[in-house]
Amino acid sequence: MERAFVKIAICIPCYGDTKAKFTQSLANMMIHFLSANITDADEKPIKTELEVIMVSCSMLTESRHKLVAEAMFWGADYMLWLDADHVFPPDTLARLWAQNKAVIGCNYARRCIPTAPTAAKHISDEDDRKNLVYTTKEKTDAGEVEEVDHLGFGVCLMDMRIFDVLEAKAEEKGEKSFLPLFRFETAENGIGVIGEDVFFFKKIREAGIPVHVDHALSWEVGHIHEQIMTNAHAVAQLDRWNDVKAKTVKRFEDRADEVERSAA
């Protein structure tokens, strides 16, 4: 059934301040989506409303539960999960929403060096690299949308009707509710920790809800990572520094010439 009015809750768990580049990405995305011509399959206009919901809590699982509750209370049709240390293009929400998937998000690099993607598929193999789903240039150029087992919550859009499915499944099992949605679990080796995102996506997949990654959009998403810069970096990046500096100077010189010609 087509919706003539769509409410999207932008849900952000945040402990402390958001990153400046994230805030800029968020503002640009909201401006883009609210000014876009959103239509249904019959090209009839759809009115949209956005609400930013932010929860600050030291316990990430509690933050995510509260965000779901707040989105439900507001009457959201969709939830867009965003983590406050990501950057993304202005058309992020429009592109995810246009895919018309129950759950679709972005695959992004982990905030560590060396890094690896967050999306994964479960394959019976001891080599962990085969479990990870890489967003490659080939997948990006092909505009591939791939089904995965789980991904991160950094940029992820969900249809709120998935919670109706979870509620129905809980009733079938004789359970009081579909909670918990998020939980940290100990890995099989007894040392590592399985993230709350893996727990959530396993739960919805068991309820028959597929999870997808938009590789083209994923290629444009960044995960902000702090790095200690040393003189070794300065030496290694000398040529690049000079190149950037020369291009910057030329850009200002060209602009100055343009202004001078306009004034003549």
CATH of the domain at 162: 3.90.550.40
Q: Could you give the 3-state DSSP secondary structure of residue 242?
A: helix
In angstroms, the Cα distances linking 63 to 157, 169, 236 are 17, 24, 41
Are 78 and 182 within one domain?
Answer: yes
* Residues of the chain predicted below pLDDT 70: 1-3, 124-130
Query: What is the pLDDT at residue 102?
Result: 98
Query: What is the pLDDT at residue 1?
Result: 44
Of the candidates 81, 84, 58, the one whose C-alpha atom is nearest the C-alpha of residue 71 is 81
Are 90 and 200 within one domain?
Answer: yes
Are 146 and 240 within one domain?
Answer: no
Are 205 and 78 within one domain?
Answer: yes
The separation between the first and the last C-alpha atoms of the chain, rounded to the nearest angstrom, is: 61
Query: What is the pLDDT at residue 66?
Result: 97
Range of the domain at 104: 5-223
The token pair that represents 25 in the structure block? 């990405």
Are 116 and 210 within one domain?
Answer: yes
Q: What does the alpha-carbon distance between residue 201 and residue 107 come to, in Å, rounded to a whole number?
A: 14
Query: What is the pLDDT at residue 114?
Result: 82
Are 169 and 104 within one domain?
Answer: yes
Sign of CA dihedral 127, 133, 135, 140: positive
43 phi and psi angles, rounded to 5 deg: 65, 25
Query: What is the pLDDT at residue 127?
Result: 58
Are 143 and 20 within one domain?
Answer: yes
Are 248 and 127 within one domain?
Answer: no
Query: What is the pLDDT at residue 122?
Result: 81
User: How much is the pTM?
Assistant: 0.86
Are 17 and 39 within one domain?
Answer: yes
Overall domain count for the chain:
2
